[in-house]
Structure 1
Amino acid sequence: MPDMADIQGSYDDLFTAVPEALCDLLDAGDAGGSVAVYVDGEPVVDVWGGHADAGRTIPWQRDTLVGVWSVTKTMTALCALILADRGDLDVDVPVARYWPEFAAAGKEQVLVRHLLSHTAGLPDWDGTVTPEDLYDRESVTARLAAQAPWWEPGTEAGYHSLTQGFLVGEVIRRVTGRGVGEFLAEQVTGPLGADFHIGLPAEHDHRVALTVPPPHRDEDYAARAPGSTAPAGGNGVRVRDGNSVAWRRAEIPAASGFGTARSIALAQSVMVCGGAVRGTRLLSAAGCERAWQEQFAGQDRILGMPVRYGLGYGLFGTTYGWGGWGGSLVMIEPEARSVVVYVTNQMREPEEDTRGLEVVMSAYDGLQGLRV
């Protein structure tokens, strides 16, 4: 057994493999990270370790926040599913019902569920979009509204790396009058006491663990789709962009979320607990089941690999969830009523990065043990 002296937090005896897995990752050279496993809305693992900085001088704390990149999509999806459950948002109607300008350029029949399932045909912007452009929500959403789809919406999928959040986020804004970050704080993370933010207030900056690029890379390292040599969606977001104050303040609902493993596990636990956690009901049991209704199965045109998409989440056998650039991952298993979350500030090369899966697998024996 590895020396787990550097691992802080608590865990149920059935789940000793989980802190061991985190310890192994730190021993292999990772800067820092945290893992949470929730069952029935309560933590059975809540551990963290390593360092919050590349120089290994600042210990990772219980409340260290980290940018989780595309894991943010699952929090934005949760907001949309809550609105759908309340009857405020119909996923089977055209987007233009809520966002009239969106009906331009042949998008009259694009449905809300196409946005959530990466089948809308808007995986990127036509023309160049700089990281600075992403901080101007009105501009980038207007560009998407005016743009023609790259394929017939609903017929194929292509990972909407950054655009998905702006598309879903604008619908949420049109329905509620509030941005995703504000809605999330008011309706989800606030009531639950979950420490997750889209559009991070300055008062939390001191808790942020900046992203550390992969070994032998610097902060100009840019996002790439798995198996691709081109930047993911052509957007070219770099580590230095994600580490900037502007990125933290921005509301980029597909990628600029900051939180702890615990906060994501707590919020997503509503999906396996029939819509309510710790006495706080966010949606109905039927509303939760919407998440894993398959919307697409086949080859993703952007990622170049087979995928299955539900409403805002990727589907993986009996589980669903999503991962982020840099290694963070949330995996939700309805049957075991469990959520496993791994977050880290340490990037590895995408084609070599199996850490999230290793952490999920390390929780498996414990979850099986709980069923006995």
Structure 2
Amino acid sequence: MNVTRAIGANARVEGFCDPAFQPVLDAFLNNFEVHGEVGASVCIHVGDRIAVDLWGGHCDRDRQKPWDRDTVSVVFSCTKAATALCAQLLVDRGALDLDAKVSRYWPEFAQAGKEDATVLMMLNHSAGVPALREPLKQGAFYDWDYMTGRLAEEEPFWRPGTKSGYHMTSFGWTVGELVRRVSGKSLGAFFRDEFAVPLGLDFQIGLPATTTKQIAPIILYKPGPDTQLTEFIMALVGAPTSISHLSYMNNGGHDPNSGLAHAAEIGGAGGIANARALADMYRPLAGSGSVLSQERIDDMSRVSTETDRDETLLIPTRFGQGFMLSMDNSSLPPGSSVIIGRHAFGHVGMGGSIGFADRDRGLAFGYTMNKLGGGILLNERGQALVDAAYGCMG
């Protein structure tokens, strides 16, 4: 059924929702009415059909511009899945070997204790370079060669392969540089040519300067007086030499709303997309055809690293080869979990966006928004949509 639903005096939710997925529409509306959603989109494919394609609210903080069908926003770490797919395609083609040392493709990386780091370690967050110790120059995130050079020189925080710690933004340059070295194309160009164009994705890693897209500015999260602080947040604020602090705060003045950030190829946190693009990216991985072999999908979605205490996030985490797996940390403060299907794989983005594939259900899911939520992983808005989708499928 086509949807046009008012959510306040000058905003509405529009799109399509299969009647069987009415609970997803209800949860989407509830996010605006109860949880302070400003602008957002959600899209769900089940097999070969679209079950949900909704958008609504406003794309600006002042709530003057409507979020329309094609509005996009920065999806932060959801970009890691796109970066990982580029590497996985090269693995599938035999051009990149998961068990090979990184030095085979990127000789400069083999220094300061990283000589034995492998391609697999780069993908599963065990390579030991989740952050950089010394301050980054202003605008560092927008300078690919500077960031890859600094990471090549960095001494690892642990011997590669012996621990797991979320490579928050560094993932985009470590894995992305492998893609660049092997393919001969920049990460953004390779993703565009091999995934975005063939699949018709409105998803860019590095936005062209000539774009006329409506990009919804990110609205930062502000904790309230009753917010439960996670151990990660306490380290972020109070432990300036910790991995948690350095991985997030040592960023060279990065502003995700700036034109420089939009144009840069920030493969760990800078992709620009909407929910439809995320769901369409995962659709071939959920069983509706594929740009990757089934053998590769099977391998990359298995548990590759699992720990009771992630060196960066300081919570239990589970990763495949570049993808997050279900992490039920319900006993910890809100925002510490991402609860998806047992064999599902995907990635969350800072503030609560998410895209994933669940081959058991033939489900491809995407959710994006402009107002960030609290926590490290999913907050109540994204998880409510995920729960509603699974509930509709029994």
Query: Does the C-alpha gap of structure 1 residues 182 and 291 become closer, same or farther in structure 2, counting only changes over 3 Å?
Result: same
Cα distance in 2, alignment partners of residues 41 and 102 from structure 1: 43
Match of 2:28 in 1: 22
SS in 2 for 1:329: strand
Tell me, in whole angstroms, the C-alpha distance in 1 between the residues paired with 2:139 and 2:353.
24
Equivalent pairs: percent with the same residue?
A: 35
- CA distance, structure 2, for counterparts of residue 342 and residue 131 of structure 1: 31
Letter in 1 for 2:357: I
Aligned residues of 2:277 and 2:366 also touching (Cα < 8 A): no
Shift of 1:348: 2.3
Which residue type is aligned with residue 338 of structure 1? L
Question: Which residue type is aligned with residue 314 of structure 1?
Answer: M
Q: Aligned residue for 2:356?
A: 331
> Given the superposition, is the C-alpha separation of residues 205 and 178 from structure 1 closer, same or farther in structure 2, using an over 3 Å criterion?
same
The answer (yes or no) to whether the contact 2:344–2:356 under 8 Å persists in 1 is: yes
C-alpha displacement of 1:202: 2.8
> 1:12 is matched by which residue type in structure 2?
D
Matched, 1:243 2:257: yes
Q: CA deviation at 1:240?
A: 7.4
* Aligned residue among 262, 265, 270 for 2:276: 262
- CA-CA distance at 1:228 after TM superposition: 4.2
Structure 2 match to 1:284 = 293
Residue number among 26, 37, 47 corresponding to 2:44 in the alignment: 37
Displacement of 1:329 after TM fit? 1.1
Greater mean alpha carbon deviation, residues 21-30 or residues 231-240: 231-240
Distance in 2 (CA, whole Å) between partners of 1:252 and 1:50 is 27
Using structure 2 for the length normalisation, give the TM-score: 0.85
Residues 1:310 and 2:315 aligned together: no
Deviation at 1:106, TM superposition (A): 2.1
Alignment of 1:1-372 (within 5 A): 4-5=5-6, 6-28=12-34, 29-130=36-137, 132-215=139-222, 225=232, 228-230=235-237, 231=245, 233-236=247-250, 241-273=255-287, 276=289, 281-298=290-307, 299-316=309-326, 317-350=342-375, 353-368=379-394
SS for the counterpart of 1:204 is: coil
SS in 2 for 1:241: coil
Take 2:222 and 2:5, find their aligned partners in 1: how far apart are those partners?
A: 24
In structure 2, distance between residues paired with 1:216 and 1:341: 25
- Deviation at 1:234? 4.0
Structure 1 residues not aligned, in runs of 5+ = 218-223
**How much has 1:312 moved relative to structure 2?**
0.3
Distance change >3 Å, CA 345–CA 68, structure 1 → 2: same
Partner SS state of residue 74, structure 1 = helix
Q: Which residue of 1 aligns with 2:241?
A: none
Q: Deviations over 1:131-185 (max 9, x none)?
A: 6111111011011112221111111111110101100000000000111110011
Q: What residue in structure 1 maps to residue 339 of structure 2?
A: none
Aligned-residue Cα RMSD (Å) equals 2.1
Is the 8 Å Cα contact of residues 37 and 44 (structure 1) preserved in structure 2? yes
**Which segment is superposed worse, 112-121 or 322-331?**
322-331
Does the aligned pair in 2 maintain the 1:291–1:312 contact within 8 Å?
yes
Number of aligned residues: 355
Task: Give the TM-score of the pair, scaled to structure 1.
Answer: 0.90
Q: Which consecutive residues of structure 2, in runs of 5 or more, have no partner in the other structure?
A: 7-11, 225-230, 238-244, 327-341
Contact 1:225 1:232 in 2 (8 A): no
Does structure 2 conserve the Cα–Cα contact (< 8 Å) formed by 1:225 and 1:303?
yes
Deviation string 1:266-317 (CA, Å, 9 cap, x unpaired) is 111121126x2xxxx4111111112212111112011000011110011113
Distance 1:256 1:64 in 2: 16
Structure 2 counterpart SS, 1:157: coil
In the TM superposition, what is the alpha-carbon distance from 1:88 to its structure 2 partner? 1.1
Q: What SS is found at the alignment partner of 2:255?
A: helix
Q: What is the CA–CA distance in structure 2 between the aligned matches of 1:65 and 1:131, rounded to whole Å?
A: 26
- Which residue type is aligned with residue 279 of structure 2? A
Which whole-Å deviations, capped at 9, do the CAs of 1:217-274 have from their partners, x for residues lacking one? Answer: 9xxxxxx956643446143559970000000000110000001100111111121126
Contact 2:278 2:365 in 1 (8 A): no
In structure 1, the residue matched to 2:333 is none
Which protein is richer in helix relative to its size? 1
C-alpha change, 1:269 and 1:128, in structure 2 (3 Å) is: same
In 1, the alpha carbon distance for the partners of 2:187 and 2:170 equals: 14
Alpha-carbon distance change, 362 to 126 in structure 1, aligned in 2, over 3 angstroms: same
Moved more, 137-146 or 318-327: 318-327
Aligned to 2:9: none
Supply the AA of the counterpart residue of 2:293.
S
AA partner of residue 113 (structure 2) = G
Equivalence for 1:221: none
Cα distance in 1, alignment partners of residues 71 and 352 from structure 2: 17
Gap change, CA 1:131 and 1:22, over 3 Å in 2: farther
